[in-house]
Amino acid sequence: MKITVVGAGAVGASCAEYIAIKDFASEVVLLDIKEGFAEGKAMDLMQTATLNGFDTTITGTTGDYSKTKDSQVAVITSGIPRKPGMTREELIGINAGIVKDVASELIKHSPEVTIIVVSNPMDTMTYLAHKELGLPKHRIIGMGGALDSARFKYRLSEALGCPSSDVDGMVIGGHSDTGMLPLTRLATRNSVRVTEFLSEDRLAQVAEDTKVGGATLTKLLGTSAWYAPGAAVSSLVQSIACDQKKMFPCSTLLDGEYGLKDLCIGVPVIIGKNGIEKVVEIELNEQEKAKLKESAEAVKKTNGLLE
């Protein structure tokens, strides 16, 4: 299984590293436009192979898409990240052009590829990739919810004072500070609803901390985070590569599911060798439905900026 990661920056390199450490892919190609950068990152990562015990080959290239030929999965992380105080939506001007160019280059060399879009504003970039490429909808996946859910579980474990492995939960909706919808009602600790353990106020705080999870890190780091984003992408790639059929909330082109149409937004999906194999429609209560609708309206507004 050959995997391409476009953008050898913070998220792209972290993603390549986790894919290699999980050791399920034969080859990862890192591509960047900055001269020598992807080659350097690839060489540095390859020098961890004996230390971390993986056999995946990582190569780097400056802009040569012929090296990405016949990739089964390609991840788009190219584009600028947020600086403190910025919203993801503010990145649209620069990132739309980059995502458009990168997506069409990828498809020229790997017509069968499944694309995972990471660049922000991610829901709109995923929609743009659909509009630009016209691929079957299961082959374009936006990564946001897998990361937001990991952040949600971290915040829940903090509130519960328990290991994250005890906790399960999911964030759906738009990948933005205001659009995320952490499903506190459905989150569990070892199959017991967390509502049994945490007060309404504490859960509201968990949800709020989750929603601003990216902004909190951007403030601390001076740029957006990369370890958890890289790990989240690698989990999606692995689910495709190993046909695991895991369920993640991902941004997908909806056509009536959840009463929404003609936009990409985070909902639970099954990820397997064909990309998005199924959209899972869960029962939401009236309040959750209203929040998802509001989130969808905000995503559509950002999509409107593409015109």
Which residues are designated catalytic? 175
- Does position 8 interact with ligand NAD (CB under 6 A)? The reply is yes
Minimum CB separation of residue 19 from ligand NAD in Å reads: 15
Give SS3 for 264. strand
Q: Which of 29, 30, 45, 102 binds ligand NAD (CB under 6 A)?
A: 102
Q: Which of 1, 2, 5, 12 binds ligand NAD (CB under 6 A)?
A: 12
* Element at 23 (helix H, strand E): none
Q: Which of 65, 127, 226, 258 binds ligand NAD (CB under 6 A)?
A: 226
- Does position 82 interact with ligand NAD (CB under 6 A)? The reply is yes
Q: Which of 73, 96, 122, 150 binds ligand NAD (CB under 6 A)?
A: 122
- Does position 95 interact with ligand NAD (CB under 6 A)? The reply is yes
Residue with tokens 């660049």: 119
Tell me the C-alpha distance between 79 and 205, whole Å: 31
Minimum CB separation of residue 258 from ligand NAD in Å reads: 20
Name which of residues 145 to 184 contact ligand NAD (CB under 6 A): 147, 175
Tell me the C-alpha distance between 76 and 67, whole Å: 15
Tell me the C-alpha distance between 185 and 203, whole Å: 9
Task: Give Cα separations from 83 to 50, 76, 90, 144, 218 (angstroms).
Answer: 35, 20, 10, 18, 6
* Element at 18 (helix H, strand E): helix 10-22
Which residues in this chain contact ligand NAD in the complex, by CB under 6 A?
6-12, 31-34, 37, 77-82, 91, 95, 98, 101-102, 118-120, 122, 143-144, 147, 175, 223-226, 229
